[in-house]
Each structure stands twice: as C-alpha cells, then as structure tokens.
C-alpha cells in the first residue's frame, strides 16, 4: 500500500492538534498550573474512553485493518485504574463518572466499532500516539506541579513496554510503519483522517467540559490571564518528529 497514511494523519490533523493545545485546560497545564481535582476528573473521563476503546480493539483484533495497529502493550486501562486508586482511594469506582462529553466520546467509539471498525484506527492513533508524544512532557509537568512521588499518580503516562525515550521513539516509528501498511483504499484512508479530526474534537469537548473545575481550582483571574495567550502548535512543522521543540517531550 502506498497511501502514506502516517504523514497524512499528522498533516491532516495538525490544525486540530493546535486547537487541542490551545484549550484552556491544556494552556493551564502547560503553564504548570495543574490541580488535583481537574486532573483526576480528566483521568476519570479517560478511564471510560480507554475502557471502551480497548474493549473494541480487542473484539476487532482479527479485523484486516485493526489487526495491523493492535498493540495491547499500549493499553492504558490498568494504569488509569492505579492512578484513580491513588487520587480517589480504593473505592474509586463508586466515586467517578464521565462528563456528558465523556459519555458522547464513549458512545461514538462503540458506534463506529459496530458500523465501521476500521475507523478505530483513527481513535487509537489520536490517543496512543499523543500519549507517546506530548503525554511524556505532560507527565513531568504533573509530577512537579502536584509534587508526586515517583510512579504515583502518573501511571497513565508510563508505558512499561517502552521504558526509555529511545524505546518510545523506536516504537513510534514502528507504529507509523504499521499505519503505512494498512490495507485501505483511498476512500477509507480519507475517512480515517476525517475520523481522526473528529476524535480530536471529542477530546476537546472533554477538555472544555472540565473548564469549570480548572476555574474553581485556580481562580477566575489566573484562569483569564493564562487562557488569553495563544500557543503555536507542536505538530505544525512538517517533520515526523518535532519532539526536540519541547525540552521535556518526546
Ligand atoms: C498541551 C498539550 C499537548 C502538547 C504539548 C503536545 C505535544 C506534542 C508534540 C511535541 C508532538 C510531536 C511529537 C513527535 O513529533 O514525535 C505531538 C504529537 C501528537 N499529539 Fe500532542 N500534544 C498535546 C496535546 C495533545 C492532545 C490533547 C492530543 C489528542 C488527544 C494529542 C495528540 C497527538 C498526536 C496524535 C500526535 C502524533 C502526531 C504525528 O506525528 O502523527 N496531543 N504532541
């Protein structure tokens, strides 16, 4: 197959990526202003999203397209469970619930899995490649902002199968090769790129839904000050690896 899906996904979603980075939630995050309540709410929503995504990927793991990007070593659900127990205590399951935006995201994942499972590729790409990229920088920000002990409260960002920056980088290359080898025609490739943009918008909706939590945690004034500036996008350059631009990010 010669559809260059990896680079087309990167290029075709860079505007969406910039918008995600420019959400109020992420701007505060990048300024190092992270508070426990909004952060654990994000993890709660992601727990429902990844539970849905990973269940559907596993159900469709023999699908001709899905099987090529089926890497269970990326699974986040168990690590999110550890983080939720850290932030909410052992009865975390009774204490968490998704926001309406989180519920829509979950419903959408199940819907496409039932109608066109190949589109799960777009959702896996947006979440996992993001976690392996910007997510690695976000981890250091959370650690210092919340003064966390090592490996507590940031398990979500840790990939046991890829313990070093070099291992992550190598795997990202493997993931992009897998995207380029997908048995999809031009029509499906185009649909996957559109679906990835939709996945970004679902993520933005979740982040927007948590803005009241951020405002309540940091106060209206600081919130207004931080969110008035706009940030250039990390994937706006065309190279396949712009991680050098952010000292802490790979
Ligand atoms: C403040 C927040 C964020 C920062 C600082 C950030 C930063 C970055 C950076 C530096 C890269 C490039 C890494 C590389 O070239 O290897 C990247 C890639 C990526 N990010 Fe983000 N990101 C953020 C938020 C998000 C969000 C919210 C999502 C989606 C939910 C996301 C999804 C992605 C994806 C899919 C890629 C891979 C692009 C590609 O090479 O195909 N990012 N991010």
In a domain, 64, yes or no: yes
Structure confidence at residue 240 (pLDDT): 54
Structure confidence at residue 247 (pLDDT): 32
pLDDT along the chain (250 residues), means of 10: 91 98 97 97 98 99 98 98 98 98 99 98 98 95 95 96 97 98 98 98 98 97 94 78 38
- C-beta 136 within 6 A of ligand 1: no
In a domain, 53, yes or no: yes
Structure confidence at residue 245 (pLDDT): 39
Nearest-CA residue for ligand 1 atom 6 is 134
> Mind giving me the DSSP string for the chain?
----HHHHHHHHTHHHHHHHHTSHHHHHHHTT---HHHHHHHHHHHHHHHHHHHHHHHHTTTSTTGGGG--GGG--HHHHHHHHHHHH-TTHHHH----HHHHHHHHHHHHHHHH-GGGHHHHHIIIIIHHHTHHHHHHHHHHHHHTPPTTSS-GGG--TT--SHHHHHHHHHHHHHHHHT----HHHHHHHHHHHHHHHHHHHHHHHHTHHHHHHHH-HHHHHHHHTS----TT-S-SS--GGGSTT--
In a domain, 249, yes or no: no
- C-beta 139 within 6 A of ligand 1: no
- C-beta 19 within 6 A of ligand 1: no
- C-beta 243 within 6 A of ligand 1: yes
Would the pTM of this model clear 0.85, i.e. be above it? yes
- C-beta 26 within 6 A of ligand 1: yes
User: CATH number, domain at 48?
Assistant: 1.20.910.10
Ligand 1 center to 91 CA (angstroms): 32
- C-beta 104 within 6 A of ligand 1: no
In a domain, 243, yes or no: no
Ligand 1 center to 185 CA (angstroms): 26
Number of domains within the chain? 1
Residue-range definition of the domain harbouring residue 71: 5-230
- C-beta 24 within 6 A of ligand 1: no
In a domain, 226, yes or no: yes
In a domain, 248, yes or no: no
Query: Among the atoms of ligand 1, which is closest to the Cα of residue 239?
Result: 15
In a domain, 60, yes or no: yes
């Amino acid at each position: 197959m010669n559809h260059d899906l990896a680079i087309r996904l990167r290029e075709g979603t860079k505007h969406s990526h910039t918008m995600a980075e420019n959400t109020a939630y992420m701007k505060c995050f990048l300024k190092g202003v992270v508070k426990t309540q909004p952060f654990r709410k994000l993890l709660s929503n992601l727990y429902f999203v990844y539970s849905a995504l990973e269940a559907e990927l596993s159900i469709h793991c023999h699908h001709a397209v899905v099987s090529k990007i089926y890497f269970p070593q990326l699974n986040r659900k168990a690590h999110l469970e550890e983080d939720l127990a850290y932030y909410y205590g052992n009865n975390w399951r009774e204490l968490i619930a998704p926001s309406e935006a989180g519920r829509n995201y979950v419903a959408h994942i199940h819907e496409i899995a039932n109608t066109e499972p190949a589109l799960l590729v777009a959702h896996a790409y947006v979440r996992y490649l993001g976690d392996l990229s910007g997510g690695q920088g976000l981890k250091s920000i959370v650690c210092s902002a919340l003064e966390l002990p090592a490996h507590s409260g940031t398990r979500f960002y840790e990939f046991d199968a890829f313990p070093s920056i070099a291992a992550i980088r190598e795997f990202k290359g493997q993931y992009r090769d897998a995207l380029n080898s997908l048995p999809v025609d031009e029509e499906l490739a185009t649909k996957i790129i559109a679906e990835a943009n939709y996945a970004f918008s679902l993520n933005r909706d979740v982040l927007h839904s948590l803005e009241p939590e951020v405002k309540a945690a940091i106060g209206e004034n600081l919130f207004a000050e931080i969110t008035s500036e706009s940030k250039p996008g990390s994937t706006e350059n065309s190279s396949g690896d712009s991680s050098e631009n952010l000292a802490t990010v790979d």
